[in-house]
Amino acid sequence: MSSADAEIETDTAHPRTRPVTLAGGAVQSRADIPRARRVVVKVGSSSISGPNADQIGPLVDALAATYARGAEVILVSSGAIATGMPYLKLDSRPTDLATQQAAAAVGQNLLVYRYQESLRRFHIVAGQVLLTASDIDNPTHRSNAQRAMERLLKLRILPIVNENDTVATHEIRFGDNDRLAALVSQLVEADLLVLLSDVDALYTRPPHEAGAIKISEVPFGDELEGVTFGEAGVAGVGTGGAGTKVAAARLATEAGTPVLVTSTPQVAAALSGADIGTWFEARVALRG
């Protein structure tokens, strides 16, 4: 038996292997969030890399608190390319595919290591899941991914999902990890999807512009007419923005999973059901 296997086997005595059974699980409002049995949380590159790498600790604290109440937690984390960039001596996100793949190969390893080191405080083991868009589109690959995720969750492993940047091409990319998170929430039939970024909520226009008004709730089917989205990405490392989050929220809510959009520093409050962020109402009674 390897030392890693021995460590995991020793941890099986920890309460993480005996999850609490939560009553219900249906989430229809922020107040219901603490009842969610299966939660997908997505965090963007700019929130957990570079000068913000220290936000991994508070993020893990919030995920662990949700896990401790018996919920199943899946983290969709961007940041492999951004994390690998300094080691390739890059000052900005590379534009050519080969260098992106190289940065991701270096960064993914370091990123998961940082998460695991932080999760170790709570005796939680992470499992890396790398997907491409073709994995979701291909019925066999999709079934395999779904089965693996379900098994990880039943074993009380915390899956950390990212796009497999080292093999993905421009033609088969998800486009951004907000979309990936929505597809993962469909794959595992999540009760809740939380999309984290640098902004505390969705606004009627970029929040730094005059006249921007916070949008607290978005009813299912609301087309958000008159809302203006700003440029995607922050500090040259991210690929998503308000527009990608709205598109992802529509994808998830159509499948019956409500979505909360807020900032990474507010993740603990968000997962406790606080009245923050922008709430996207889901289609009602789509799943049995």
Q: Say whether 29 counts as a known binding-site residue.
A: no
Contact between residue 125 and residue 11 where contact means Cβ atoms under 8 Å apart: yes
Does the annotation list 144 as a binding residue? no
Q: Is residue 245 annotated as involved in ligand binding?
A: no
Question: Does 165 count as an annotated binding residue?
Answer: yes
Nearest-angstrom CA–CA distance, 230 and 207: 9
Quote the radius of gyration of the chain (alpha carbons, Å).
18
- Flag whether 185 is marked binding: no
Beta carbons within 10 angstroms of residue 151's beta carbon = 12
Separation between Cα atoms, residue 265 and residue 30, nearest integer Å? 17
The secondary element (H helix, E strand) that includes residue 161 is strand 158-163
Cβ neighbours of residue 1 closer than 8 Å, sequence gap 6 or more: 9
Tokens (6 digits) for 147? 């089965």
Count other Cβ atoms within 10 Å, centred on residue 285: 8
- Residue 42 annotated as lining a ligand binding site: yes
Query: Contact 63/41 with Cβ under 8 angstroms?
Result: yes
Any idea what DSSP says for residue 175?
S
Which of 59, 94, 67, 61 is CA-nearest to residue 80?
94
Q: Give binding residues for substrate as ranges.
A: 78, 165, 177
Q: Give binding residues for ATP as ranges.
A: 42, 197-198
Q: Give binding residues as ranges.
A: 42, 78, 165, 177, 197-198
